[in-house]
Structure 1
Amino acid sequence: MLQDNFGRQFYYLRLSITDVCNFKCDYCLPDGYQKPDTPTPELSLSEIGDIARAFAALGTKKIRITGGEPALRKDLPDIIELCKSTPGIESVAITTNGYRLPQYIDSWVNAGLDRLNVSIDSLDPKMFQAITGHDRLQEIMQGIKQAETIGLSSIKVNTVLMKQFNGHQLQQYLNWIKHQPITLRFIELMQTGDNLTFFNDNHIAGSGIKQQLIEQGWSPILRSKSAGPAEEFQHPDYQGRVGLIMPYSKDFCDSCNRLRVSSSGQLHLCLFGEQGLPLRHLCQHDDPEALQQQIIEYVKQKKVSHFLQQGETGATKHLAMIGG
């Protein structure tokens, strides 16, 4: 089992398969994706297989496929199938902006997808378009309904609440999940290398949302060891649940159980750590034990905290770089 020097064990891998995104969300890529002058090739299917097998051999149980926007890769169903068929991997999830979700969701589920997370930063079509640059809310809602119809058991909706945009829509979201078996996750806006002014103007503390939920009768749910960082809540009058991801809360990093690999094959020990650590070169020598040993050694370098409270954002210029 992968374990760092602070006793934290890692069951969960977030695997980015592209850094390209076709949305222009204000808090992430307000000017859209900017192609680098010398782009690095994305991980191949073979390299993804090597990485998935190495992490599985070290105790990883869950792989979440991220981007950028992972749906932009035409071989996404093959990637899902490869991850799901890896011995030791019990769950395969995806985080998507919902681009062409109605067209794609059937192929993803048929390939073995277990969990779907969709980013929806407003339930108002005009506000959704203002935040993302796309008028696709109804299409995304159709895709979520389709996922429910074909029997996908775990569907979550991710939302970043921001003062100047959707900060007043909390109750609208709660009303939506009253009769929807969906987990709604509010993600606290995080400072990155290029959004300091936006962060200062729009940050809403997750602690305040948590207090509102408790006052309205929501109660906490115990997390499983392979779960993500959200504190989840349930209410007897609601079919849906609420999760809060609060990276600025005290002791947030104590329960960290996840590692990240970028689409260029770099291991990131923390979303807000320094430059990634190379793994790709070890995928090209047919030596799985060497790859596993390198991962073990790298994990020993993981720091106790992300230090976001001190304004340290590490190498993360924007969240699309390694999938948030």
Structure 2
Amino acid sequence: MLQDSFGRRFYYLRLSVTDVCNFRCNYCLPDGFQCDKSTPDFLSLKEIGVFAKAFAVLGTEKIRLTGGEPALRRELPDIIAQCKQIEGIKKVAVTTNGYNLPSVISSWHDAGLDALNVSIDSLNPANFKKITGHDRLHKVLAGIERAQSLGIRSIKVNAVLLKNDNATEIDQFIDWLKNQPVTLRFIELMQTGDNEVFFKEQHVNGASIIAKLLKQGWQPIIKTHDAGPAEEFWHPDYQGRIGVIRPYSKDFCKSCNRLRISALGKLHLCLFANEGIDLREYAQTGDVEQLAMAITRLITGKTPSHLLHQGHSGMIQHLSMLGG
């Protein structure tokens, strides 16, 4: 089992398959994705398989495929199928903005997808367009409905909390869960290299959401060992659940159970680390054993906590770089 010097065990890999995103979310890429003239050399299907096998050898049970927007990789169904077939990998998930979800979710399901995370920052079509730059809320919701009809039971909806954009919609989101068997996750806005002013204007403390939920009778849920960072709650009168992700809360990093591989093959011990560690040479040669040994050595360099409280976001300029 992969374990760092603080006793944290890592069952969960977030693997980015592209940096590119086609949304223009005001908290991430307000000007859209900016690329240079060169074609990005993202990890190939074969290289992704080598990384997945190495982490599986080390005890990883869950792989989440992220971006940018992972649906922009045409071979995403092949990536899902490859990860799903690796011995030891029990769950394969995808995080998406859902822009073309109705037309692709069947292929993801057929490939073996276990879980789906979809970003919906507003249930109001006009506000959704304002935040994301796209009038596609109807498509995203249709995609979730299609996923449910296919039998995908683990569906989470992510909403980044924004003081001036969606904070007044909290009750609408909660009411939506009356008849929606999904987990809605309110995520505190995080400061990155290029959003300092926006962060100061828009940050909402998730503690206020938790206080509201407890007052309304929502009850905490005990985390599983491969769960993400959300504090989750359930209510007997609602089909859906609610999670709150509070990266600025005390001891947030104490239960960290996930590592990240970028779309270029760099290991990130923390989302807000100062740099990624290039491991692509091992993936290119296909040496699973040597890659696993390198990861094991490097895990000792994982720090006890990020430094977001001090305004330090490491190398992360925007969350599209590693999918959050």
Alignment TM-score, normalising by the size of structure 1: 0.99
**1:79 and 1:163 mapped to 2: Cα distance?**
37
Question: Which blocks of at least 5 consecutive residues in structure 2 are unaligned?
Answer: none
- Tell me the amino acid that sits aligned with residue 322 of structure 1: L
Displacement of 1:38 after TM fit?
4.3
The answer on whether the counterparts of 2:221 and 2:231 sit within 8 Å (CA) in structure 1 is: yes
- Partner SS for 1:15: strand
Displacement of 1:288 after TM fit?
1.7
- Tell me the amino acid that sits aligned with residue 128 of structure 2: F
- Tell me the amino acid that sits aligned with residue 116 of structure 1: L
Residue of structure 2 in register with 1:123 after alignment: 123
Indicate whether 1:279 and 2:314 are aligned: no
Residue of structure 2 in register with 1:264 after alignment: 264
Give runs of aligned pairs for residues 22-101 of structure 1, distance below 5 A: 22-101=22-101
Residue of structure 2 in register with 1:303 after alignment: 303
**1:81 and 1:141 mapped to 2: Cα distance?**
25
- Tell me the amino acid that sits aligned with residue 218 of structure 2: W
**1:49 and 1:24 mapped to 2: Cα distance?**
30
**1:292 and 1:164 mapped to 2: Cα distance?**
45
Residue of structure 1 in register with 2:140 after alignment: 140
Displacement of 1:40 after TM fit?
3.7
Displacement of 1:37 after TM fit?
4.7
**1:66 and 1:40 mapped to 2: Cα distance?**
16
**2:319 and 2:193 mapped to 1: Cα distance?**
10
Instruction: Label 1:318 to 1:160 Cα distance change in 2 as closer, same or farther (>3 A).
Output: same
The answer on whether the counterparts of 2:160 and 2:189 sit within 8 Å (CA) in structure 1 is: yes
Indicate whether 1:168 and 2:165 are aligned: no
**2:168 and 2:288 mapped to 1: Cα distance?**
50
**1:283 and 1:252 mapped to 2: Cα distance?**
32
Displacement of 1:284 after TM fit?
2.1
**1:120 and 1:156 mapped to 2: Cα distance?**
10
- CA RMSD of the aligned region, Å? 0.8
**1:69 and 1:285 mapped to 2: Cα distance?**
27
**1:32 and 1:285 mapped to 2: Cα distance?**
35
Displacement of 1:161 after TM fit?
1.4
Q: Over residues 116-153 of structure 1, what are the superposed CA-to-partner deviations in whole Å (9 max), with x where a residue is unaligned?
A: 00000000000000000000000111110011111111
- Partner SS for 1:179: coil
**2:274 and 2:57 mapped to 1: Cα distance?**
26
**1:2 and 1:38 mapped to 2: Cα distance?**
36
Q: Over residues 150-207 of structure 1, what are the superposed CA-to-partner deviations in whole Å (9 max), with x where a residue is unaligned?
A: 1111111000110110111000000001111110000100000000000000000011
- Partner SS for 1:117: strand
Displacement of 1:95 after TM fit?
0.3
- Tell me the amino acid that sits aligned with residue 53 of structure 2: R
Indicate whether 1:204 and 2:195 are aligned: no
**1:13 and 1:137 mapped to 2: Cα distance?**
29
Identity %: 60
- Partner SS for 2:158: strand
- Partner SS for 2:168: coil
Q: Over residues 208-231 of structure 1, what are the superposed CA-to-partner deviations in whole Å (9 max), with x where a residue is unaligned?
A: 111110011001000000010000
Q: Over residues 2-41 of structure 1, what are the superposed CA-to-partner deviations in whole Å (9 max), with x where a residue is unaligned?
A: 1111100000000000000000000000000000354540
**Aligned residues between the structures:** 324
- Partner SS for 1:232: strand
- Tell me the amino acid that sits aligned with residue 13 of structure 2: L
Question: Which blocks of at least 5 consecutive residues in structure 1 are unaligned?
Answer: none
